[in-house]
Structure 1
Amino acid sequence: MSDERPRPQFGAYSSPEEQRARSGQDVPKRVLDPALVPRDMPPEDAAAPKRPGQYEQVSQATVVDRVITVALMAFGLYSVLGALRSYTDPYALLDAIGMSDVELTDPAGLRVAGIVSIVVMLIGWGGTVWILWRRHARRKTMWWIAVIAGIVFTIVGALIVAVPFAMDPAVLQKFAELQGIELP
């Protein structure tokens, strides 16, 4: 007959004192006299605070991300400011699409729509800069936010101008005429 004992699990056969010693509960904490600790020694438990003028190392990927993001945002601002003339002057927009012989029925309304479009795109640009600044502070990638915001706000701004422009009766008549369709 063999003496088969079950295998011990989790220190089942050790005394309570041995269990406490192995778990680190009876280990005395090291107490230091504050007078013996040098003033320039970093704290043991916390990360050392940064001194003024001390910077973290910046990786090459972070630098590339910043450069691409700044370039995208500069291109976005250039595009919005470039759209200022064509969005706020409906006749310049007609010239750009090759319909200079059309007389608009409500050019003032289209001008207001263009101004609203530019304001929406500028607010979107400013909001994107704010979001990017916050992500930059947390050291996260930013370029994809600039791309998505550029696409979204360009589409929204173009729709704000395009819908009233396409709904103008003179423009509708010209589109129908170019397609060979007779409107009633």
Structure 2
Amino acid sequence: MSDDSGVPAPGAERPRPQFGEYATPEEQRARIQRPEVTEALEAGVAPQPERESPAAAKAPVALAAPATGGARVDRIVTFGLLFYGLFSVVTTIVQLLNFPEYAERGAQMLGVTATFTNLSAGYVWGAAASLVYGVGWLLTAVFTWRRLRRGRIAFWVPLVGFVATALVAGVCVTMALVGDAQFMSAILDSVPN
């Protein structure tokens, strides 16, 4: 029991601590994440206030701790890009595996009637481009997943992965097209001077 002053009566049990009064120094260090403060208090010295570096003082708070809503939007956009990329990669792989038809359809979109005749090179380079697209998407997905697990912004990873993969696959497609002189001649002849 206690009187009106809040002081416990002699023989009365002390009230249970509510704010960590009985915490050990180790528990205090773990909770405050600033061991130098606990060490200073144990030595009987007033702790120094935490100083910010000039860069930290100028940094906007929003960059230091991303908002939960922003992280949610990043995840939605990232997964949307990955799923769109997967759909695009699968449909492109199917088209590239029949490279002569793929090349002729591309020529038709340019308004040119041309027949792709270098079939062996077309199938080899088409398969290589397909492999590049598949591996590129897998690497992009793995790298994206790792960034998301670490809580980092990741929407840019599928975009960069697409650009890098498309450049390498484009080289493969170009190699196949350049390997057919008649086809390239028909394409180049249709270009206005």
Q: How many residues in Structure 1 have an aligned counterpart in Structure 2?
A: 134
Show the counterpart of 1:46: 30
Equivalent residues in 2 for 1:48-87, closer than 5 Å? 59-87=68-96
Change (3 A) 1:152 1:68: same
TM-score of the pair, normalised by structure 1: 0.63
Deviation at 1:76, TM superposition (A): 0.9
Question: Which of residues 97, 100, 119 in structure 1 aligns to 2:107?
Answer: 97
Equivalent residues in 2 for 1:1-184, closer than 5 Å? 43-47=27-31, 59-93=68-102, 94-98=104-108, 99=112, 101-104=114-117, 106-179=118-191
Give CA deviations for 1:11-64 in whole Å, capped at 9, x if unaligned: xxxxxxxxxxxxxxxxxxxxxxxxxx79xxx9322259xxxxxxxxx8011110
Q: Which runs of 5+ in 1 are unaligned?
A: 1-36, 49-57
* 1:112 partner amino acid: V
Q: Once superposed, what is the RMSD of the aligned Cα atoms?
A: 2.8
% identical aligned pairs: 18
Q: 1 or 2, which has the higher helix percentage?
A: 2
TM-score of the pair, normalised by structure 2: 0.60
Q: Which runs of 5+ in 2 are unaligned?
A: 1-21, 33-66
1:135 and 1:78 mapped to 2: Cα distance? 22
Pair member with larger Rg: 1
1:132 and 1:101 mapped to 2: Cα distance? 41
Deviation at 1:73, TM superposition (A): 0.8
Give CA deviations for 1:98-152 in whole Å, capped at 9, x if unaligned: 1554251x21221111111111111111111111121112110000111111111
2:31 and 2:168 mapped to 1: Cα distance? 47
